[in-house]
């Protein structure tokens, strides 16, 4: 079974620039998540999709972050404009159905550095 694919692996941008990350979940997984992991902390949920609908985006800074999951498969996360504090690893995860006991499968993540 192919895992969750993310790209790019690394990205360095200057503050106020824009950046986009891409995620392809495991085939057939209905639920897709974007997490932000700042160095030394646990992952923090940014947004959760069930198919192509948003389930939870309560912790997404909507003034600068946006995400979409067109057709309920791939997803993109965008930051515009970036701030220094956005430097983190952005992890995409998927699960078969998003139920309480459904484990997450993470991608390798995109390491973002904002200078």
Partner 1 sequence: RKEVEQDPGPFNVPEGATVAFNCTYSNSASQSFFWYRQDCRKEPKLLMSVYSSGNEDGRFTAQLNRASQYISLLIRDSKLSDSATYLCVVNVPSGAGSYQLTFGKGTKLSVIP
Which residues sit at the interface with partner 1, rule CB under 8 A? 33, 35, 40-45, 48, 55-56, 58, 91, 100-101, 103-104, 106-109
* Rounded Cα gap, residues 42 and 47, in angstroms: 15
CB of 16 to partner 1, least distance (A): 27
**Cβ proximity to partner 1, 24 vs 48, nearer residue:** 48
Residue 105 beta carbon to partner 1: minimum distance, rounded to whole angstroms: 8
Supply the minimum distance, in Å, between the C-beta of residue 32 and partner 1. Answer: 13
Beta partners for residue 71, in sequence order: none
Measure Cα distances from 42 to 3, 36, 51, 89, 104 in Å: 21, 9, 25, 11, 14
Compare residues 81 and 104 and give the one whose CB is closer to partner 1.
104
CB of 68 to partner 1, least distance (A): 19
Structure tokens at 34: 């974007």
Phi, psi of 71 (to 5 degrees): 65, 10
């Amino acid at each position: 079974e192919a895992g969750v694919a993310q790209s790019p692996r690394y990205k360095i941008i200057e503050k106020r620039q824009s950046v986009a990350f891409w995620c392809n979940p495991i085939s057939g997984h209905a639920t897709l998540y974007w997490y932000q992991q700042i160095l030394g902390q646990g992952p923090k949920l940014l947004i959760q999709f069930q198919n192509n609908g948003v389930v939870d985006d309560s912790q997404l800074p909507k003034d600068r972050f946006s995400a979409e999951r067109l057709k309920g498969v791939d997803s993109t996360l965008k930051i515009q404009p970036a701030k220094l504090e956005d430097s983190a690893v952005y992890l995409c995860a998927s699960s078969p159905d998003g139920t309480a006991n459904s484990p997450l499968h993470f991608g390798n993540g995109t390491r973002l550095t904002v200078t």
